[in-house]
Structure 1
Amino acid sequence: MGRFFFSFFFLLSILCLLPLKPVVALPLHTTSRWIVDEDGARVKLACVNWPSHREAPVAEGLSNHPVDLISKRIASLGFNCVRLALPLFLATDQSLASLTVRQSFQRLGLLESLAGFQANNPSMLDLPLTSAYQAVVSNIADNNMMIILDITSGLTRMATVFSGVPNVVGMSLRNELRCPKQNVKDWYRYMQKGAEAVHSANPDVLVIISGLSDGTDLSFLLNQQLELTFTGKLVLEMHWDGLRAGRAGETSNPNKLGVDDNRNLNCFFGLAAELDFDWALWTVEETNGLMNWNSSVFQRISALQSPLQGPDVSRVRPHKIILHPPTGLCILWESWTEPLKLGPCTKSDAWGYTPQKLLIVKGSYFCLQAVELGKPAKLSIICTKPGSNWDIISDSKMYLSTKLGDSTTVCLDVDSSSTIVTDACKCLGRDDTCDPGSQWFKVVDSTNISRRPILQTS
C-alpha cells in the first residue's frame, strides 16, 4: 500500500462536541483545542500534502495530469484542504523565482517533464514560477478546498502575497526541523519571530508550528509556552511517519507499534479517531501517491475526514461509534432480520458504553451480546446475561472482549461477509506474524456527522 505519512494538528487544551456546519465561514481561528470558523463551528482540516518544493519548484504531477483534474480528484475523495509545500528560494531569491516553468525545466534538463507539462498544463508553462504556484492555489480554491502553505523562509513576503486570498487559511513555518544543531532555545527564538512576522503580514491565517526532531517533539512546551502578541491563531503540528515509527519501535508484540507499516496505520487510525485531530496525508504524487491509490485506502480514511467532536456540547447528543480501523467502517444495526455488520460510519447507530461495560444502543433497551464462539453477535434486551459485559483489552486497547456462559473468553471479530461475530481472541501473545486487524475496534466519542462543507468567503 506504500508509505504513509501524516501531519496532525493539535491546539492547546481539550473540550468536546459539535457537528460541522454545511457552510464554513472563513477566515478560521482557534478556540481551546479546536479550529473553528467565524461563527464558532468546528472545522476539521482533513488535508493532503501536495509537494512543490523539489529541484523544479512546481507542484508535482503537473507533467502527468491537468491541475484541475488533480484538484477535483482530491476534492472527490473527501479532502477539504491541501497542504501545499513551497521551496525556500521561491520566497527569497527573486532571480530564480522570476524564471518561467519552461525555463526551470530547461535549466535542469528535464525535457520529458517539460513535454508532459506542455501537454497537460500549457497555460501555465510560460508563467513565472511564483505565478504558477499562485495558479495552483487558485485552482484548489476554485474546487472548494482550503490551502495551508508550508514554507521555510521569506515568511513576510509569502504571507503578504496571499493576504486577501480567503481560501489560504494557514501557513506552516518550517517543515521537519532536523538540523544537527537544533535546540530548544533557538526554536523559541525563531518560531516566535516567524509567527509574529506571518501574523503581522496576514492576520487572517492560522500560524502552524512544528517541533524539533523531524517535527516529532513538542514536549518542551509542557514547561514553557510560546509567548506571542496574538491569540486565536496558533496551531501546533506533529509528524508521524509509518516507516520511522516502525524503525523506532521494533517489537514482537503485534499490539504495539513497530511490527509493520500497515499495522502501524491501523493503530494510528484508531488514535486519530479517538483524539479527532486535524490531519494532512502525504502525498498527492510520488510513486505511491494519492493519484495511484485504490478505493479501499480512501474508505479507511473517510471515517477520519468528518469531525467527530467539537467545542460546543449544548446543541448535540453525545454518543459513541464503534469503529473498525482496518476498514474505516463502523458497526451498524439495520434490522432484526439481519446480523450486525460493518458499514459507513455516517450511518452508525448511537452507542453508549456504561460503567457496567455494556455497549448499548442509546435511546433503547438493547445491548450488544455475544452468543457463541464463531457465531454472530446480537442485540438483546436481557443485558444481565453472560456475554453482555465488554472489556477493552491489550496494549493496543482495541479489543472488545467478553465471557460466555461457559467462561470462554471471546473477542468481537469480523468475518469475510463483514458480519460482526465473536471468536477466540487472537494475537495477544508475542507472535509478530499474527495479524490482529479483524478484531481491532475502537469505541469513539462522536456526534451526528454532517456532509462535507461548502466554503463561504464573504
Structure 2
Amino acid sequence: MLLHRMWYLISIQWLFLLASSSIGLIQVRSQEGPLFASSRWIVDGEGRRVKLACVNWPSHLQPVLAEGLNMQPVDNIMELVNDMGFNCVRFTWPLELATKETLASTTVKQMFTWLGLNQSLANITTHNPWVVDLTIADAFETMLERFQQNKLMVVLDNHITVPGWCCGLNDGNGFFGDRFFDPSVWMKGLNKMALLATKFPNVIGMSLRNELRGPKSDVDLWYMYVRQGAETVHAANPNVLVILSGLDYDKDLSFIHKRPVNVSFTGKVVFEHHWYSFSHSGAWKGNLNDACGWISASIMDKAGFIADEDRAPMFESEFGINAQKGDVNDDRYINCFMAMAADQDWDFAVWALQGSYYFREGVVGMDEWYGLLNYEWNDVRNPTWLKRLSSLQKPFRGPEMKQSPTNDGVLFHPQTGLCVLEGKDAGWPLSLGPCNDATGWTYTPQETFLLKGRNQFLQAAGAQKPVQLVKSEPLASRWNQTSNSKLHLSAKAADGIMVCLDVDGVNLVTNECKCLAVDSSCDPTSQWFKLVKSSHI
C-alpha cells in the first residue's frame, strides 16, 4: 500500500537515495546476519556501515501483544514501516514474558477477555485471525517471523518487568533489587530471549534494560549487573549487539568517562541514550540559543562523548515529539535535537510507531500523540514531521566511505531537515533541498565558505537579499558562529550590516540576526545551520 500523501512530500529524497549507491553511500537497508560495533559505527561483516533507522513498536503493556493488531493486518503495518523509510524496529517486551509461564502460556483471546478488551479482540479477529488462539509467547515469536519476512531488523528491548506502562520513579521496575527487578530472574529472562533470537538473523541487537532509574540507582551495582547481563546475552547468542543503557532514565552515562565497561568479548557493545523535551523541560522556556547550547553540551558530556570519542556506537533509542498538536517545548527541543543528531550521525529509534493502544494506564483505546501513524494505523499522522525525520534515516558518513576533512561538509538546516544546494534559478543561487543532493562546502582558515569543486565563495549581499556566490576569496564574506547554540552563521554584508544566514521559503537569504541572546519569546531556528561532515560530497 502506497502512502500517496506522504510520497508526495518525500519521494524526491527517496529517489535520490536509490541513486546514491554510485557515490558509495550506504543505503537505508535491512541486514540479516550479525552486525558489529567498530569504533563509533555499527557495521556489517565487511566493515560497511549499517545505520539503524528504527521505530519503537511496543509489546510490553498489559495485553503483552504488539500494539495495533486490532487496527490493521500486521503485514500492512510492517509495509508502512518500510514505506516510511525505516529499516528497523525496537520491539519492547516485559521480563515476565520470558520468566512467568502462566503469562507466557495465556492465549491472546484469554488475555483480552480477562482485560475486558472485547472490541479490540473482535477487531484483532478481523484483521489478524492468526494470532487469536496463539499463546502470548507464540504470538511474540510469530511477530519476529513477520519482521524477518518483511525485511525489518529488530532490536529486542527489555522494557519493564511487569507488563504495563513505563516508567515511574518508584514503580518497582527501575533498578536492580527493586520489588519487581530481581537480577537473577532478569538474567534468566535475558538468556531465554537471546536463545529465541538465534532463530532470527534479523534480530541484530538486544537492549538489556530500558531506563534504569530510581532511589536505588548505584554506579557500582550498574557495572556489576550490566556486565553480568551482557555476558549472559553474549553467551546465549554471540551474534547480537549488546546494548547498554545508562542511569537516570537513560540520560546519564557520564561515569563511562573514566571507567569503561569491561566484558570478555569485543565488537558487540553499543550504548543507548534517551532525549525528549521533558528531559530538560524548564530549560526550553529561556532563550533558545542559550538553552540549545548548554543542553547540547550536557548531552555530549553525559552520553554523546562515547561516539564522539570513537569509543562505541551511540543508539539514540528514544526521542520524539507530540505530532498531533503544537507544543512549544517540543518545537524548541526538536530543532536542537535535529542539529545534533545530524552532526553526530547517530543510529536511532523514534518514539513511536503506534497511533493508539489497546489499553494504557487504565484507558481503553488511548491515542498516542507521539505516534508516527494515525489512530487507525493506516496513514502518517504528521507528514511534515516524517519529512524532517527522513533526513536522519540515511547515513551522512561511515568507516568505509570517503572521509572528508574536519572542515568539509554539507550545510544542514535543522528546522526543515534539508541541506543547502545550488539553486536552479539564476536569481537565487542557493536553496534548500534533500541532503543527498547537497552542495559540499569547505570552511577555510580565512573563515570563508568555499563551494567544493568550484572556485566560488559564499557572500552576504545584505538584509533580505539572496546569498551570492563570488569567484574571488577577497570578496567573500567571513562567517562566524554567533550565538551560544553555535548554529547561527553571521557575516558582515557589503553595506557593513551584520547579518545571519536565513531562508525565505526554500531560498537562502541573509537577514538581521535574531534571538541571539536574552529574548525568550522569539524563534531563531530559520537561521540555524550546521556544517555536518558528510561523505555525500
Equivalent in the alignment of 2:281: 246
Amino acid at match of 2:58: P
2:32·2:201 contact (CA, 8 Å) conserved in 1? Answer: no
Shift of 1:234: 0.3
**Contact 1:341–1:418 (CA<8 Å) still a contact in 2?**
yes
Per the TM alignment, residue 312 of structure 1 is displaced from its structure 2 partner at its CA by 3.6
1:317 Cα offset (Å)? 5.3
The separation in 2 between residues aligned to 1:245 and 1:62, in whole angstroms, is 34
In structure 1, stretches of 5+ residues that fail to align are 1-16, 450-458
| CA distance, structure 2, for counterparts of residue 111 and residue 338 of structure 1 | 63
Q: 1:196 aligns with which of 222, 231, 246?
A: 231
With the length of structure 1 as denominator, give the TM-score of the two structures.
0.90
> 1:430-441 counterparts in 2 under 5 A?
430-441=518-529
Aligned equivalent of 1:145: 152
Q: Which amino acid aligns with 1:310?
A: G
Instruction: Give the conservation status (yes or no) of the 8 Å contact 2:284–2:332.
Output: no
Does residue 274 in structure 1 map to residue 343 in structure 2? yes
Structure 2 CA distance, aligned partners of 1:209 and 1:34?
15
> 2:466 is paired with a residue of what secondary structure?
coil
The 2-side partners of 1:252 and 1:301 are apart by 25
Aligned to 1:391: 480
Which structure shows the higher helix fraction?
2
Q: Does 1:92 align with 2:93?
A: no
Size of the aligned set, in residue pairs, is 429
Alpha-carbon shift at residue 406 of structure 1 (Å): 2.8
Aligned pairs for 1:110-121 (under 5 A) are 110-121=117-128
Q: CA deviation at 1:272?
A: 0.7
Give me the whole-angstrom Cα distance separating, in 2, the residues matched to 1:341 and 1:142.
41
Instruction: Give, as a single letter, the amino acid of the residue that structure 1 aligns with 2:413.
Output: H
**Structure 1 match to 2:165:** none
Contact 1:25 1:38 in 2 (8 A): no
Q: Which amino acid aligns with 1:190?
A: Y
CA 1:338–1:122: 2 relative to 1, 3 Å: farther
CA contact (8 A) 2:284 2:333 kept: no
2:207 pairs, out of 158, 169, 172, with 172
Instruction: Provide the residue aligned with 1:214 in structure 2.
Output: 249
Q: Secondary structure at the match of 1:260?
A: helix
Q: 2:452 aligns with which of 362, 367, 370?
A: 362
Contact (CA 8 Å) 1:50, 1:83: kept in 2 or not? yes
State the match for 1:302 in structure 2: 390
Structure 2 match to 1:43:
50
Q: Is the 8 A contact 1:18 1:41 kept in 2?
A: no
Q: Does the CA contact (< 8 Å) of 1:342 and 1:418 recur in 2?
A: yes
Q: Which residue of 2 aligns with 1:424?
A: 512
1:224 aligns to 2:246 (yes or no):
no
Quote the offset at 1:130 in angstroms.
1.3
Shifted more, 394-403 versus 18-27: the winner is 18-27
CA distance in 2, matches of 1:198, 1:233: 11
CA contact (8 A) 1:52 1:85 kept: yes
Check conservation: 1:21, 1:41, Cα contact below 8 A: no
Cα distance in structure 2, aligned partners of 1:393 and 1:183 = 40
- 2:124 counterpart SS class: helix
Aligned equivalents of 2:37, 2:75: Cα separation in 1: 31
Deviations 1:97-145 (A, max 9, x none): 0111111101111112112211211111111111111222222222222
State the alpha-carbon separation in 2 of the partners of residues 115 and 21 from structure 1.
Answer: 40
Q: Compared with structure 1, are the counterparts of its residues 155 and 251 closer, same or farther at alpha carbon in structure 2 (3 Å cutoff)?
A: same
Q: CA deviation at 1:316?
A: 5.0
Report deviation, 1:354: 1.1
Deviations, residues 17-71 of structure 1 (Å, cap 9, x unaligned): 9732687463100111111001100111111111110011111111112211211
Shift of 1:305: 0.9
Cα deviation digits, residues 274-329 of structure 1 (max 9, x gap): 1111111101114121112221111111111111121246x455641111101101
After TM superposition, list the pairs within 5 Å mapping 1:12-31 onto structure 2: 19-20=25-26, 24=31, 26-31=33-38
| Superimposed CA distance per residue, residues 341-400 of structure 1 (whole angstroms, 9 cap, x where no aligned partner) | 111111111221111121111111011111121011121112212x62111221111111
Contact 1:325 1:441 in 2 (8 A): yes
- Contact 1:25–1:37, Cα closer than 8 Å, also in 2: no
| Mapped pair 1:237 → 2:326 | no
Q: Is the aligned partner of 1:323 residue 2:415?
A: no
| Counterpart code for 2:130 | S
The TM-score, its normalising length taken from structure 2, stands at 0.77
How far apart in 1 are the matches of 2:244 and 2:28? 28
Shift of 1:226: 1.3
Separation in 1, partners of 2:28, 2:412:
24
Q: Which digits, 9 at most, give the CA deviation of each residue in 1:397-441, with x for residues without a partner?
A: 1111100123200001111x3111110011113222201121111
Matches of 1:240 and 1:176, distance apart in 2: 11
Gap change, CA 1:208 and 1:372, over 3 Å in 2: same
Q: Does the 8 Å CA contact 2:109/2:133 hold for their aligned counterparts?
A: yes
Check the 8 A contact 1:83/1:148 in 2, yes or no: yes
Alignment counterpart, residue 218 of structure 2, candidates 183, 190, 210: 183
Counterparts of 2:27 and 2:47, CA distance in 1: 10
CA distance in structure 1 between the partners assigned to 2:265 and 2:138 by the alignment? 31
Counterparts of 2:126 and 2:527 in 1: how far apart (Å)?
Answer: 48
Larger RCO of the pair (alpha carbons < 8 Å, separation 6+): 1
* Range moving further from structure 2, 54-63 or 166-175: 54-63
**1:179 positional shift:** 2.7
2:372 equivalent among 284, 287, 290: 290
* 1:50/1:125 CA distance change after superposition, 3 Å: same
* C-alpha contact (below 8 Å) 2:28/2:85 kept by paired residues: no
Cross-structure match for 1:446: 534
Q: Distance in 2 between matches of 1:377 and 1:21?
A: 32
What code does the residue aligned with 1:268 have?
F
Letter in 2 for 1:290: L
Structure-2 separation of matches of 1:112 and 1:347: 48
1:342-381 to structure 2, matched below 5 A, reads 342-381=432-471
**CA–CA separation in structure 2 for the residues paired with 1:241 and 1:413:** 26
Q: Give the aligned partner of residue 333 of structure 1.
A: 422
More divergent stretch after superposition (326-335 vs 21-30): 21-30
Q: 2:317 is matched with which residue?
A: none
2:143 to 122, 132, 136: 136
Other structure's SS at 1:296 match: helix
* 1:434–1:179 distance in 2 versus 1, CA, 3 Å: same
Summarize the Cα distance change of 1:227–1:399 in structure 2 as closer, same or farther, 3 Å threshold.
same
Q: Which of 494, 509, 512 pairs up with 1:405?
A: 494
What's the offset of the Cα at 1:221? 1.2
Q: Could you tell me which amino acid in structure 2 is paired with residue 223 of structure 1?
A: K
Match of 1:53 among 57, 60, 69: 60
Identical columns (%): 45
- Residues 18, 310 of structure 1: 8 Å contact kept: no
| Preserved contact between residue 490 and residue 500 of structure 2 (Cα < 8 Å) | yes
Matching residue of 2:192: 157
Separation in 1, partners of 2:493, 2:28: 45
- Secondary structure of 2:491's match? strand
